[in-house]
Amino acid sequence: MYKAIILATALFSTQLLAKDFQENQIDNGKVNANGKPVTLLGNGVKVGQQAPDFKVVDGSFVPVTLTSFKDKAVLISVVPSLDTGICSLQTKHFNEKVAGEFSDVVMLTISADLPFAQKRFCQTEGIDKVQTLSDSVWHDFGKNYGLYIKDMGLLSRAVFVLNKEHKVVYKQLVENLATEPNYEQTLEALKAL
């Protein structure tokens, strides 16, 4: 019953919040789903700027912010939904092939999935090096990074690398929601830290 109430609240709040978001002027027109452009809402970010803080929740609904990782480099892998094939591959890739090589970098995967779904996914798939965080409560990450997809309630696929001062040193906005990010470019950005 508790899960049903949270799900209903999250879905209702998604519709209300979308009305308050502005269109992302930096990245609009750059992402498509099934060949059709999607409208991104929120404030876009650029390489070189200070990364905006955000407030998301972990698997126990404990709030987590970017400032929780003070003085640490951070990779943020953003996926629409962990329960889809490409999002699953992306998260597994960073968990299995990247996190071990860059143990001094905090690895995050952020989606609009409910924390229950994220926790189940991590247990089933053995995700143990990447921390999954949910933007389903406040949609703060989607708004602050301009990745909230209008009329979908999901986040657009992207990858960010932040240095220890949390400046954006790399940004990859994946053009087609149905494709994986370019992992080689991400690795080069991590090696340059």
Measure CA of the first residue to CA of the last residue in the chain; give whole Å: 46
Query: Which DSSP string corresponds to 50-111?
Result: BPPP-EEE-TTS-EEEGGGGTTSEEEEEE-S-TTSHHHHHHHHHIIIIITTTTTTEEEEEEE
∠ Cα 41 28 157 (to 5°): 70
The answer to whether 54 and 179 have CB atoms below 8 angstroms apart is no
- Select which of 18, 38, 87, 107 is catalytic: 87
Question: pLDDT for 53-77, tens place per residue?
Answer: 999 999 999 999 999 999 999 999 9
Bridge partners, residue 32, by sequence: 37, 176
The pLDDT tens digits of the residues spanning 168-191 come to 999 999 999 999 999 999 999 999
Distances (CA, A) of 95 to 20, 84, 103, 131, 191: 34, 16, 11, 9, 17
3-class secondary structure, 172:
strand
Residue 19: predicted pLDDT:
54
Q: What is the pLDDT of residue 184?
A: 97
Sign of CA pseudo-dihedral 146, 100, 95, 183: positive
Phi-psi region of 72 (alpha: psi -120 to 50; beta: other; left: phi over 0): beta
* pTM greater than 0.85 (yes/no): yes
pLDDT of 21 reads: 80
122 catalytic per annotation: no
For the chain, which residues score pLDDT lower than 50? Answer: 1-16
| C-beta of residue 90 within 8 angstroms of C-beta of residue 107 | no
Place of tokens 């092939």: 97
Q: Which residues on adjacent β-strands are paired with residue 172?
A: 159
